[in-house]
Amino acid sequence: MINNIVTLGHPALRQEAARIEAPSPELTDLTTNLFDTLASAAGYGLSANQIGVLRRVAVLVVEQTRVVLINPEITAATGHSHGLEGCLSIPGIWARVHRHAEITVTTDTLEGGRDTHRFSGQLAIVAQHEIDHLLGMLFLARLPLMERDFLLAKYRKLQKRVQR
């Protein structure tokens, strides 16, 4: 099922998602919906917050790699990256964001176990972006105030054009 992606201003984007306590058929359905919605939007990652569901789950698709993050925790981070990021919930806005170049993430699995992922490059950036979403943080919060204000004004102008 393809869900609508909520955009800037929706309260779910600023709220921390609830921890998932146990695997369930609903969780499996949610991850399938996230992958379907992500594919239809042609993005790299999508959190449950972005479809208005406050559950701590996100999906990533970078090249041929598909990853489900359930209750993800970054347990190690090294290096620095300064790459261009956008967000499906803030269409038309891009900025260079400081991130870690490599991260280790511990996550629950759909089967109820635990797993550890080591990400680098684009996958590390996308994972950090989606984990921020689960914490109620947008990539704009990682920017200097003047740049953030400029991009928010730009976004409002873009939205006015779309509404015409």
Which domains does the chain carry? 11-163 (3.90.45.10)
Quick one: average pLDDT of 7-11? 96
Quick one: average pLDDT of 125-140? 98
Predicted local distance difference test score (pLDDT) of residue 115 = 97
Tell me: the pLDDT tens digits for 106-118? 999 999 999 999 9
Tell me what the pLDDT averaged over the chain comes to.
96
Tell me: the pLDDT tens digits for 23-81? 999 999 999 999 999 999 999 999 999 999 999 999 999 999 999 999 999 999 999 99
Predicted local distance difference test score (pLDDT) of residue 162 = 73
- How many degrees, rounded to 5, is the angle at CA 66 between CA 63 and CA 70? 145
Distance CA 160, CA 30 (A): 32
- Residue 164's pLDDT band, with cuts at 50, 70 and 90, is low
CA distances from 21 to 47, 61, 82, 103 (A): 17, 24, 34, 24
- Number of other residues whose CB lies within 10 A of the CB of residue 107: 21
- Residue 160's pLDDT band, with cuts at 50, 70 and 90, is confident
The question of whether 130 is a catalytic residue gets the answer yes
**Contact call for residues 155 and 92 (beta carbons, < 8 A):** yes
The tokens describing 24, both together, are 């369930």
Q: Which of 63, 73, 85, 130 is catalytic?
A: 130
Distance CA 130, CA 122 (A): 12
Query: Which residue's entry shows tokens 């992500």?
Result: 38
**Contact call for residues 105 and 117 (beta carbons, < 8 A):** yes
Phi, psi (rounded to 5 degrees) for 27:
-65, -45
